[in-house]
Amino acid sequence: MKKIAVLGVTGVIGRQTVEVIKAHPERFTLTAFSFYQNIERGKQLIKEFAPAYVAVSDQATAEQLAKEFPKTSFVWGIDGMCQIAGATEIDIVVVAVVGSVGLQPVLKALKERQRVALANKESLVAGGKLIMELVHQGLGELVPIDSEHSAIFQCLNGNTKDQAVAELILTASGGSLRNYQRAELKNVTIEQALKHPNWQMGPKITIDSATMMNKGLEVMEAYWLFGVDYDKINVILHKTSDVHSCVKFIDGSYLMQVGPKDPKQPIQYALTYPERVPVLPQMPFSLLNQSFSFEKMDLARFPLLKLAYEVGRAGECLPAVFNYANEIAVKAFLQGKISFLAIEYLVEKAVNQIANHALTSIEDLLTIEKQTKQLVAEMIKKGMKP
Ligand code: MG
């Protein structure tokens, strides 16, 4: 029996992870989880699973819930998530929180030699260097949940240091605004940007898909996970999202992974790897008839994807600047404070204005996070726009 901790249990990936756990009660038990704002859903899950540990946002919420559920230990904040991630009885930590708050729990879980099933790409973008140092020391194990990276992981058959790899090809749906020209993006509303054509996802990642920021983050995620140079990582537009990604090998052979547009398969594989067990929904082979359609990415249409490569190649703290600036900008867009195009404008400004620094510890990242968030918040306050 594997004891699972789910950080971000009430989000889209967290909920799907709970479904996977419930489908295999003989294999998995939900021993710990964290949630943030959705306290009602969190309480339901405590009633259903009677977890040993729960992390919440703050001390007051923890104390209040402890009275209601005396058998569960409540902790709070990032420290609380780290306590759960590092608890010795946990076998697998699913990191499904949104944004860079995932980084410290990932580091903690790896230090305690856990398997980390990672849905949180921002932690690898900001702290990939620190995370992979631990993985390369043989501490812990990192298995991707992000559909593109799970696809590549499956094609590589678990071998992440494969010299036989010629190219990694990440597929991109194009996001909610893929049929808009740049001139048409000026007055895009929150509702339009949140309508993803293929995937049911949380609001932050849906906006990131529309700006192609998500694919930019995924390029960096692939760089760290698979140790493949940026000039061998390519993105291709694939509007049906049936091919989740592809590996080209040096002998000219392509392997691609195909499946339904549902995160359960990659979530479950990250939990059962290297074993495979049944999962629903599945996809009829006949659907593949319409799947093999690919187009070149237009980097002038999606400048954040181009910038992602530049930032990724620069490395050190600059990817963190790119990521933190985006986190603040997307939040402001979703609150109606800035326009859609201001997201990329603010990210570009932050990357150009903040000096890159060597990344040697988590403190370097905390400093750059503060600096970036301050700069972007000021620009928003001043009403700076493209
Ligand atoms: Mg993805």
CA 329 – ligand 1 centroid, Å: 20
Q: For every one of its 386 residues, what pLDDT tens digit does the chain have, with 9 covering 90 and above?
A: 999 999 999 999 999 999 999 999 999 999 999 999 999 999 999 999 999 999 999 999 999 999 999 999 999 999 999 999 999 999 999 999 999 899 999 999 999 999 999 999 999 999 999 999 999 998 999 999 999 999 999 999 866 666 899 999 999 999 999 999 999 999 999 999 999 888 878 999 999 999 999 999 999 999 999 999 999 999 999 999 999 999 999 999 999 999 999 999 999 999 999 999 999 889 888 888 777 899 999 999 999 999 999 999 999 999 999 999 999 999 999 999 999 999 999 999 999 999 999 999 999 999 999 999 999 999 999 998 88
Q: CA angle at residue 248 from 245 to 253, to 5 degrees?
A: 120
Q: What is the CA radius of gyration of the chain?
A: 20
CA 65 – ligand 1 centroid, Å: 34
* Tens-digit pLDDT profile for residues 116-137: 999 999 999 999 999 999 999 9
CA 116 – ligand 1 centroid, Å: 17
* CA gap 156, 134 in Å, rounded: 21
CA 209 – ligand 1 centroid, Å: 9
Cis peptide before 51 (omega within 30 of 0): no
CA 150 – ligand 1 centroid, Å: 9
CA 327 – ligand 1 centroid, Å: 17
CA 47 – ligand 1 centroid, Å: 32
131: CB partners within 8 A, 6+ apart: 103, 106, 107, 110, 123, 124, 142, 224
272: CB partners within 8 A, 6+ apart: 27
Q: Are 326 and 213 in contact (CB under 8 A)?
A: yes
* Tens-digit pLDDT profile for residues 18-74: 999 999 999 999 999 999 999 999 999 999 999 999 999 999 999 999 999 999 999
* CA gap 341, 43 in Å, rounded: 38
Which neighbouring-strand residues pair with 75?
Answer: 55
CA 30 – ligand 1 centroid, Å: 24
* Tens-digit pLDDT profile for residues 214-248: 999 999 999 999 999 999 999 999 999 999 999 99
List, as one string, the DSSP characters of 80-110.
HHHHHHH-TT-SEEEE--SSGGGHHHHHHHH
CA 149 – ligand 1 centroid, Å: 7
- At 158 the pLDDT is 66
Q: Are 74 and 56 in contact (CB under 8 A)?
A: yes
**Which element (helix H / strand E) includes 247?**
strand 243-249
- At 386 the pLDDT is 87
CA 218 – ligand 1 centroid, Å: 7
CA 49 – ligand 1 centroid, Å: 29
CA 119 – ligand 1 centroid, Å: 9
CA 1 – ligand 1 centroid, Å: 29
CA 59 – ligand 1 centroid, Å: 33
214: CB partners within 8 A, 6+ apart: 121, 175, 205, 208
pTM for the model stands at 0.96
CA 198 – ligand 1 centroid, Å: 12
Q: Are 295 and 237 in contact (CB under 8 A)?
A: yes
Q: Are 210 and 197 in contact (CB under 8 A)?
A: no
Phi, psi of 57 (to 5 degrees): -70, -40
CA 50 – ligand 1 centroid, Å: 31
CA 147 – ligand 1 centroid, Å: 5
Among residues 5, 9, 4, the alpha carbon closest in space to that of 28 is found at: 4
Among residues 271, 236, 229, the alpha carbon closest in space to that of 119 is found at: 271
CA 254 – ligand 1 centroid, Å: 20
